[in-house]
Structure 1
Amino acid sequence: MPYWLQLMVDSLGPLLWAAFAFTAPLTLLSFVFGLTLGLVVALIRLFGPRPLVAVVRFYVWIFRGTPLLVQLFLIFYGLPSVGILLDAFPAALIGFTLNVGAYSSEIVRAAIGSVAKGQWEAAYSIGMTWTQAMRRTILPQAARVAVPPLSNTFIALVKDTSLAAAITVPELFQAAQRIVAVSYEPLILYVEAALLYLAMSSVLSALQTRLEAKLDRYGGFLEARS
């Protein structure tokens, strides 16, 4: 077996372990928390009082207008200067959550805004409260619009987690860096890491396509009933 192939085979186990133990949890937790935050921010932007709207608009402006790597450095290396010490994984989780929250809030806000005003009126006409109308009528329709860009955000997040290596999170890319430090073969290891990211992104893209197809069929069913 060629040396480069043997090295890739020997490295596959540690890289996969890092992907499942750190990259996957960091991605999933950041996306769930970030999407929850994004929904709250979007609802405040659409329906909240002006002072609170100004606060969340400032938050979105900051986190959409600055690099993610800088945000991670500020949280992990900057906060200790004011007495806030965080381990690497929680710091990365906070950074990714805030970043995803800012971007997903704009997606959710646009999706809710795309629902026709008549849907609100129809919900109110049958006695629904605002909360019931949002949960039963508006959000299901907005989800059809939001799923494609949110899915793209999730896939991008999988790749962005490689930035966590810069703050010492032992995820997939840092695992590759550690092996490079021993083997002195950066090209082979970084290509292998890139292939693993590519494989994960390809699987998620296929799942996104299936999900969008199901939502289209569900949307057609609702339109037929209406």
Structure 2
Amino acid sequence: MSSRLARPAFAAVRRTAPRAATRSYAAPAAQSQDTKPPVALFGLDGTYANALYVAAVKTNNLDSAAKAVSSLSSVLKADPKLSTILAAPTLSDSDKSQIVAELEKHTGGADKSGTVKNLLAALAENNRLGLLEGVTDKFTTLIGAARGELELTITSATKLEPKLLQRLETAVAKSEYSQGKKLKTVTKVNPEILGGLVLEVGERTIDLSVQSKIHKLNKLLTDSV
């Protein structure tokens, strides 16, 4: 993969310290307030998400980048096998070039500035395409925070009925957890929790699952023996 595809905004991601990397591709001090990501992210995928956010803000293309990333995220979630392919350690430079070209087709034509294209090229060049789904998820978190939204993730053992989902959203919106922000709801189905719900509001987790109750009961029984 040609190094020219990895633009300066993403070049510093190669470094090992995420905070140092973020500073290295941020705007000058006078603009740092505008380009600084609205929430702290961690992990290498968070570092790439931060880089994309900074690059999009500096080029005044945040909305278009958000649309492009949303399209990519939908593709990745629709085909779980794709993430496995992206993470394959045996991908050649030719394979990665073809994958990036194919992924670019799924940005919905929103990436006119090429910001997301640069991200894909940097991931490919650094053998990090397997991080793409995590990057898109964390970039979506940044976009929500920038728009004053608060993500509410509801995990259930089976798909929730619309009326129950609406009641949960209303209850959380009225609670102290919402902080008065507009909720953006994401629902997930995980049969392993056995029943009940797991609510994640921002950085807070409320585990009301049957699985959690069983774990607590087992611990209680073990400790009492």
Q: What TM bracket, shorter-length normalisation?
A: under 0.3
Bigger strand fraction: 2
Q: Computing the radius of gyration over CA atoms, which structure comes out larger, 1 or 2?
A: 1
Comparing both chains, which one has the higher relative contact order based on Cα–Cα distances under 8 Å and sequence gaps of 6 or more? 1
Q: What is the TM-score of this pair, normalised by structure 2?
A: 0.25
TM-score, structure 1 as length reference: 0.25
Q: By percentage of residues, which structure has more helix? A: 1
